[in-house]
Amino acid sequence: MRNARIAILGVLSFVWFAPVAYGQEGLSVNGSLHLNDRVNLRRGKFQWQEYRLALKPSYEAGEKVKFRSEVWVRELRTAMPFETPANRLQLREAYLDLNGLLHSSIDIRIGRQRIAWGSADRLNPSDNLNPQEFEDFWDFGRHTPTNSLLAKWYVWGFTLEGVVTPWFEPSRLPDASWNAAFLPQMPTRRRFSMSGGFSVDVALQPLAHEWHTLRPRRHLSDATDGVRLQRN
């Protein structure tokens, strides 16, 4: 969380001071506003309330060097709490593009980025470089950007891509209102019909479960990588 705040502060500082240092040319800031209210008609209460402002500052220092970023400022309220509360301020993306700077046939992108491989919609088995977000179950297919290094080499009519992600980031799970879909409650008593026309009422022991979270350590030896070759 501390690193995210520092990165967000850096992005906002860049947006503030870039016009002074470089002038207005090359700098742009756009964004979008997302309002989402859902009501449970049976209970007459709000099930989901999300108000999100997405800011996308960017800067182009010529054709070879470009900076892109996206910051979310939002308020999220749900009927049931999350295991890990959602941050009001999120750095979604912040990466630097170096296109043909080191070599005319090599492009490099470094930073927090969304890497989508494959062209399928929503359910895409090859789009597995970024963790999936199940925070909003009705927005299936959303992924969390990760801190990665992406390199592309254009050679002989093909594009060879290589990705390295230095550490693991988990998928975000939905709120507690979805627990019943995955962990249904067992009845405490059940009546069994027996031969001879009589029945037996049996008390059942409630199902007990515990959550254990195991994550890979943040070390370069546990980094993940991927390679893709496609025809241009």
Instruction: Give residue for tokens 């700077």.
Output: 101
Residue of 110, 105, 195 lying closest to 156 (CA atoms):
105
Of 169, 162, 171, give the one whose Cα is nearest residue 142.
171
Whether the pLDDT of residue 218 is over 50: the answer is yes
Selected residue with higher pLDDT from 156 and 182: 156
pTM of the predicted protein model: 0.76
For the chain, the distance separating the N- and C-terminal CA atoms, rounded to the nearest angstrom, is: 40
Summarize pLDDT for 61-105 with one digit per residue, the tens: 888 999 999 999 888 888 777 766 777 889 999 999 999 988 899
Q: How many Å apart are CA 42 and CA 202, to the nearest integer?
A: 33
What local confidence, expressed as pLDDT, does residue 92 receive? 94
Give the span between the Cα atoms of 154 and 102, in whole angstroms.
13
Q: What is the pLDDT of residues 110-131, one digit of tens each?
A: 999 999 888 777 678 888 889 9
Q: Where are the domains of the chain?
A: 2-176+218-231
